[in-house]
Amino acid sequence: MEERRRINHQIRIPQIRVVDEEGEQLGVMTPADARKIAEERGLDLVEVAPGARPPVCRIMDYGRFRYEQKKNQKKQVQVQTKILKLRPKTDQHDLQTKLRHARRFLEAGNRVRFVVRMRGRERAVTDRWIAQLVELTDQLNDIGVPVGKPQLEGGGVTSTVEPRKTPLAEEASSEASSEASNES
């Protein structure tokens, strides 16, 4: 979120402390005097510390300052966890559909959590469902990395897969090229 700064004629406090473009303090003066100095230099008067007493204003090129601020802002990628719910009796075709969804989510950079919900006697053979989840996550090894082993949580078994930083195919080709260069 970009904070709003007062510039030039928006600064209406009787006394301000002024800093020039090199960081030298010009002292405490009225905004009109500071604006006059800024205009002579072809720059803007920008309030940089409104909480200080007196407020601190800086003489700078405001357009360039905003451009630099936007350029320096890092784009944050928010990783989401997509949950795919399964049942122990989920058919093989439906499992393949879930795997295609998981692959699509991983390619988009999201985590995938598989949840196998069990009821009644299905809980007696949790080892079978854990093995099923291990098989599922192994099928995603080319684009995803399992986070730990499948775990028993509440009424089900869960397993989380995170996207690989670099796909496995790229890793294999980079290893092959590095081995070829070592042999030369």
pLDDT over 60 at 126, yes or no:
yes
Name, in order, each residue with C-beta under 8 angstroms of 158's C-beta and a sequence gap of 6 or more.
Answer: 113, 114, 115, 116, 150, 151
* 34-68 residue pLDDT tens: 899 989 988 988 888 888 888 899 999 888 888 88
Per-residue confidence (pLDDT) for residue 161, from 0 to 100: 92
- Give, in order, the Cα–Cα distances in Å from 10 to each of 1, 3, 39, 41, 56: 21, 15, 15, 19, 14
Q: What are phi and psi of 121, to 5 degrees?
A: -70, -15
Please answer whether residues 35 and 44 qualify as being in contact, where contact means their C-beta atoms are separated by less than 8 angstroms: no
Tens digits of per-residue pLDDT, 147-176? 888 888 888 899 999 998 875 555 555 565
State the Rg of the chain over Cα: 30
Domains of the chain in sequence order: 8-72 (3.10.20.80), 81-170 (3.30.110.10)
